[in-house]
Chain A
Amino acid sequence: MALIDLANPTRFLAFCQRALPWLAGATAIAFVIGIVMAFNAPDDYQQGATVKIMFLHVPAAWLAMACWALMSAAALGTLVWRHPLADVTAKAAAPIGAALTLMCLVTGSLWGRPMWGTYWVWDARLTSVLVLFLLYLGVLALYWTADDPNRGARGAAVLILVGAINLPVIKFSVDWWNTLHQPASVLRIGGSAIDPSILHPLLLMALAFLLLFLTLLLAAMRNEILRRRVRAMQMLQAQRA
């Protein structure tokens, strides 16, 4: 099957049917190995055992941003080409991205209290991630409250594209401003600054979270396609009545 064939919703549903069990299995295996590695990783010389929170916080933060980037590409597809699967992608991804951003904020706070002495500071990195969370809630509100799904989709697409400005702000906030949050230590010029004994479990947990995200995204997209079929059939039924 060519990639372009998946742009057809019926073929996409057939693809989901085949791919989802494999993706779910791979996710479960990756999480088991990742968590075993995470809890066998040595304590950090500064953070101690609280470094284990990073195995959740960092992948959640990466995916929260990657999910918005994916939604931005989908929003272009909605506004420019008006492809129905583009809107399905953005709508299905939004709740997953919101949940991951919430996980990032809460696990970050739980790490911050013992390490920084506070759950929250209004520094640029934390504030810009909070703005990302609020943007996710705004997109969800547009999708869930619009009377006309097409108008809701266009409104959400515009907000998603405007919100994409926040992505480089999050990424470079630690370079542009003086923040309590530490600068990038994995994705940076010059390579990772983390010891392999901690980096490897972190990357495996990131892979597990990525597989989880893809599994949930495909399942949510399948549900959204079915929801649109139900709506079309209900309208047909109303016309006949």
Chain B
Amino acid sequence: MNLGAHADFIVAAYTVAVLVVAGLIAWVALDYSAQRRLLGDLESRGIKRRSRAKR
């Protein structure tokens, strides 16, 4: 594929886009596992949300 005389700029733009998207996906995935771990720890210590405790 020939990207012409400005190939460096095109490759740099797509690299930035991949890094931004990968960063967002990593942020969401890591945050999810962190919150699940914290919830699991609290539930294992017998802490329940008020709405669950009433049942």
Contacts and interface: CB of A to CB of B under 8 A. Distances in A.
A229 B49 CA distance: 7
Contacts of B36: 226
B15 to A, nearest CB: 10
A107 B16 contact: yes
Contact of B47 (A114, A222, A227, A236): A236
A39 B4 CA distance: 13
Contact of A216 (B6, B13, B25, B45): B25
Contacts, number: 96
B5 to A, nearest CB: 7
A50 B16 contact: no
Nearest to B42: A233
Interface centre among B2, B5, B31, B45 (most CB of A within 10 A): B31
A125 interface: no
Interface centre among B20, B23, B25 (most CB of A within 10 A): B20
Given A223-B35, A234-B42, A106 B7 contact: no
B28 A223 contact: yes
Contact of A230 (B2, B10, B24, B35): B35
A148 B3 CA distance: 52
Contacts of B7: 49
Contacts of A227: 31, 35
A102 interface: yes
Interface in A76-115: 95-96, 99-100, 102-103, 106-107, 110-111, 113-114
A227 B35 CA distance: 6
Contacts of A234: 42
Interface in A207-241: 212, 216, 219-220, 222-223, 226-227, 229-230, 232-234, 236-237, 240
Q: Which 4 A-B pairs have the closest CB atoms?
A: A226-B35, A49-B4, A114-B6, A219-B28
